[in-house]
Amino acid sequence: MQNHGRAGVAAAWMEHQGMVLDIGCAAGMFSLLSRENGVTGVGVDISPGSLRQARKESPGFDFALASAERLPWTDRAFDTILMLDVLEHVPCEHKALAEVERVLRPGGRLIISVPNKGEFNRVDAQNSLLFAMGRKVLGRRGDTMYHRHYSIDELKALMPPSFRLSRVRYGGYLLFPLCGYLTMLTDNTRMISLSSFIRSIEQVDFDRDFGPKSWHLMAEFIKEG
């Protein structure tokens, strides 16, 4: 699972077959990685453009337009739920996690990734004045991408009482946030090859575990009861 960041780790953590819900699926990277293993599921996102790309790349997965705070499924519908770089963006974390608890079966798993409150969380490109000015120039005034950062204790405190922490993975340090400033430029100017090269550097940093000082935090929670 090289060069696929959080989606690659999530795919590697999948230990059994079952129905998967990928909240904030974006262009469907997880579904693309997992379809060769026979994983079935649904990706959900609030971006119609991202869903169009996801349907094109992963015809074996279903995709739906919906928000994390209002999931259009019945109770206990899924065995595994992914929230990869999603919680830090939602308007209300408690509403989103309550919906996750509702649609997750007992014994099911939540795999989540968030920016860690580590050594360099204050240099997040997404939270920078430069980023805000760039989005204003591009006419994306309503596109808010602010990142909240979490320690593992803060993440555990947000979880519903029925959720038990199963495992934790840290990754990245300084290279990842610095590369974020570069990809702000290369992505928005369609410098695809350069963006890909920068992300390969991000991956090298992501693959190294610096413990609680790291840039990224991934965790798996089990729903009990």
pLDDT digits (tens, 9 = 90+) for 136-167: 444 444 445 568 999 999 999 999 999 999 99
Phi, psi torsion values for 215, nearest 5 degrees: -80, -35
- Tally of CB atoms within 10 A around 55: 16
Give the range among 44-48, 159-163, 176-180 with minimum mean pLDDT.
176-180
- This prediction's pTM: 0.85
Kind and range of the H or E element at 212? none
What's the pLDDT band for 15 if we cut at 50, 70, 90? confident
What homologous superfamily is domain 5-223 in, according to CATH?
Vaccinia Virus protein VP39 (3.40.50.150)
Mean local confidence (pLDDT), 41-65? 86
Contact (CB, 8 A) for 200 and 3:
yes
CA–CA separation, 100 and 78 (whole Å)? 9
Q: Which two tokens stand for residue 138?
A: 């591009």
Least confident span in 64-73, 92-101, 117-126 = 117-126
Per residue in 63-96, pLDDT tens? 999 999 999 999 999 999 999 999 999 999 999 9
* Separation between Cα atoms, residue 97 and residue 104, nearest integer Å: 10
Q: Transcribe 168-205 into DSSP letters.
A: EEEE--SHHHHHHHHHHHHHHTT-HHHHHHHHHHHHHH
